[in-house]
Amino acid sequence: MTLPQFTFLAPTSLTEACALLEKHKGKIKIKAGGTDMIVRLSHRAVKPDYLMSLKKIPNLDGISYTPGEGLTIGALALLREVDLSPLVLEQAQMLARAAHATATVQIRNMGTVMGNVCNASPSADNIPTLVAMNARIVASCGVKEREIPIDEFFLGPGRSALQANEIATAIKVPTLAPQSGVSYQKISPRSKVDIAAVNIGAMITLNDDGECQVARISMGAVGPTPLRARQAETFLLGKKITDETMAEAGRLAAEDAAPISDVRASREYRKLMVEVLTTRALKEAVGFAKN
Ligand SMILES: Cc1cc2nc3c(=O)[nH]c(=O)nc-3n(C[C@H](O)[C@H](O)[C@H](O)COP(=O)(O)OP(=O)(O)OC[C@H]3O[C@@H](n4cnc5c(N)ncnc54)[C@H](O)[C@@H]3O)c2cc1C
């Protein structure tokens, strides 16, 4: 594998990194683990003059939990660290499942959850659960910081709401409300380590009567960005959750999916799998919400 020529930059602070982004606007790319970026460089899909590694910037790699607020996953936290983190397993085990479902252990030891998010692939494994859990992406331009709701983060395949001089520094995942449950489901016909043909993240909150108070369902690989299953979410609100309501929600989710046919699956298969996986995700999420 040969790479195009570029100047490698390794800033040691966020301020320095953002200043470099500003200085070399349009000619610089960011690298975290590099598992997507190095492939794109080798395919000449991108030809930057500068490649900037984030690896030497301190304090970007932690995973922490603040009661009442939730989890913070640093930009350099590896997929493998999220997969195995006791904090993540305790507070948001589906984030660990999604990280585990990403690629092989070798890739998980290099790649980051943030890189998976910033790469903005509609089929990324870690996005649907983060959308279902209403996460926020913290973005910094070195002097100022802002939080971007994940629903507003994805603008198209490979395009995010980050400005050219911004670095995503952390993912914030709010604590689940009581009587809430989450699920992540993925299907990938070629092999378990292949990217998803369809993936679904679902979060549901029940009231004391077992009725749905909140439902968030995110569908991956069925549109140019991860899509919310809005019809299904609206249908579930205030309803007693039964096998019938969950099946109907699955059917409505398939209506909102807008997949294409490609090497991984046909449009028709994807629609069918949205229905199956949404129903399955809701059943699992409801099971957790009742415990
Ligand atoms: C063999 C193989 C198998 C794979 N299988 C899967 C799979 O099953 N499921 C799946 O979802 N993915 C899969 N991937 C994709 C990849 O591993 C993930 O997307 C990975 O999580 C990217 O993280 P990274 O740290 O390597 O990102 P990088 O490659 O370093 O960066 C990815 C993109 O995000 C940007 N970026 C990274 N961090 C930041 C930041 N902090 N701020 C702003 N921009 C940033 C980069 O500029 C780049 O555009 C696979 C990749 C390979 C090579």
Q: Which of 35, 194, 218 to mutate to test the pocket of ligand 1 (most atoms within 8 A of CB)?
A: 35
| Closest Cα to atom 6 of ligand 1 | 103
The SS3 assignment for 11 reads coil
Angle at 275 between CA 271 and CA 279, to 5 degrees: 160
Q: Count Cα neighbours of 145 within 13 Å in the Cβ-side half-sphere.
A: 10
Q: 286 CA to middle of ligand 1, Å?
A: 31
Quote the pTM value.
0.97
Give the pLDDT score at 59: 95
Strand order in the sheet with 145-149: 63-66, 70-74, 167-174, 136-140, 145-149
Structure tokens at 34: 């590099």
b/e per residue 217-236 (b: at least 16 CB within 10 A):
bbbbbbbebbbbbebbbebb
CA–centroid distance, 74 to ligand 1, in Å, is: 15
CA of 34 from ligand 1 middle (Å) equals 7
Q: Of all atoms in ligand 1, which is nearest to the CA of residue 36?
A: 29
What pLDDT score was predicted for residue 194?
A: 84
E-state strands within the chain: 7-9, 28-31, 50-53, 63-66, 70-74, 136-140, 145-149, 154-156, 159-160, 167-174, 180-187, 198-206, 212-220, 227-228
Q: What are the DSSP E strand ranges found in 108-254?
A: 136-140, 145-149, 154-156, 159-160, 167-174, 180-187, 198-206, 212-220, 227-228
Two tokens, residue 169: 């520094």
- CA pair distance 114, 58, nearest whole angstrom: 16
Domain range list for the chain: 7-53, 63-174, 180-290
Check residue 187 and give its pLDDT. Answer: 96
Q: How many residues does the chain have?
A: 291
Number of neighbours of residue 145 by Cβ within 10 angstroms: 13
Rg (CA), the chain: 19
The Å distance, Cα 119 to ligand 1 centre, comes to 6
CB 215 within 8 A of CB 237: yes
Fold of the domain spanning 180-290: Enolase-like; domain 1 (3.30.390)
For residue 291, the model assigns a pLDDT of 78
Q: Which atom of ligand 1 is nearest to the CA of 195?
A: 8
Beta partners for 188?
none
Q: What angle do CA 270, 275, 279 make, to 5 degrees?
A: 140
Please give all residues whose beta carbon lies within 6 A of any atom in ligand 1, as ranges. Answer: 29-37, 39, 54, 75, 79, 102-103, 107, 110-112, 114-116, 118-119, 124-125, 162, 167-168, 193, 195
Q: Which atom of ligand 1 is nearest to the CA of 60?
A: 41
State the fold for domain 63-174: 3.30.465
| pLDDT confidence of residue 193 | 74
Residue 202's alpha-carbon distances to 25, 92, 102, 139, 207, in angstroms, are 37, 12, 18, 25, 17
Ordered per-residue pLDDT tens for the chain, 291 residues: 799 999 999 999 999 999 999 999 999 999 999 999 999 999 999 999 999 999 999 999 999 999 989 999 999 999 999 999 999 999 999 999 999 999 999 999 999 999 999 999 999 999 999 999 999 999 999 999 999 999 999 999 999 999 999 999 999 999 999 999 999 999 998 776 789 999 999 999 999 999 999 999 999 999 999 999 999 999 999 999 999 999 999 999 999 999 999 989 999 999 999 999 999 999 999 999 987
Q: Domain 7-53, what architecture?
A: 2-Layer Sandwich (3.30)
pLDDT computed for residue 150 by the predictor: 98
Ligand 1 geometric centre to CA of 193 (Å): 14
What pLDDT digit, counting tens, does each position of 145-169 carry? 999 999 999 999 999 999 999 999 9
C-alpha 170 – ligand 1 centre gap (Å): 15
Q: What phi and psi, each to the nearest 5 degrees, are found at residue 187?
A: -130, 135
